[in-house]
A and B are shown apart, each in its own frame.
Chain A
Amino acid sequence: DAGVTQSPTHLIKTRGQQVTLRCSPKSGHDTVSWYQQALGQGPQFIFQYYEEEERQRGNFPDRFSGHQFPNYSSELNVNALLLGDSALYLCASSFRQGNQPQHFGDGTRLSIL
Chain B
Amino acid sequence: QQQVKQSPQSLIVQKGGISIINCAYENTAFDYFPWYQQFPGKGPALLIAIRPDVSEKKEGRFTISFNKSAKQFSLHIMDSQPGDSATYFCAASGANDYKLSFGAGTTVTVRA
Chain A residues contacting B84 (CB-CB under 8 Å) are none
The residues of A that contact B31 with a CB separation of less than 8 Å are 99
Majority-rule SS of B interface residues: strand
A90 proximal to B (CB < 8 A) = yes
The docked-state distance in angstroms from the alpha carbon of A33 to that of B102 is 14
B104 touches A42 (CB 8 A): yes
Contact-residue size bin, chain A (C-beta under 8 Å from the other chain): 20 to 34
Contact residues on B (Cβ < 8 Å of other chain), bracket: 20 to 34
B81 to chain A, nearest CB (A): 23
How far is the CB of B61 from the nearest CB of chain A, in Å? Answer: 20
* Complex A-B: 25 CB contacts under 8 Å: A31-B98, A42-B6, A42-B102, A42-B103, A42-B104, A42-B105, A43-B89, A43-B100, A48-B98, A56-B97, A58-B99, A90-B43, A90-B44, A94-B98, A96-B98, A99-B31, A99-B95, A99-B98, A102-B46, A102-B100, A103-B46, A104-B43, A104-B45, A104-B46, A106-B43
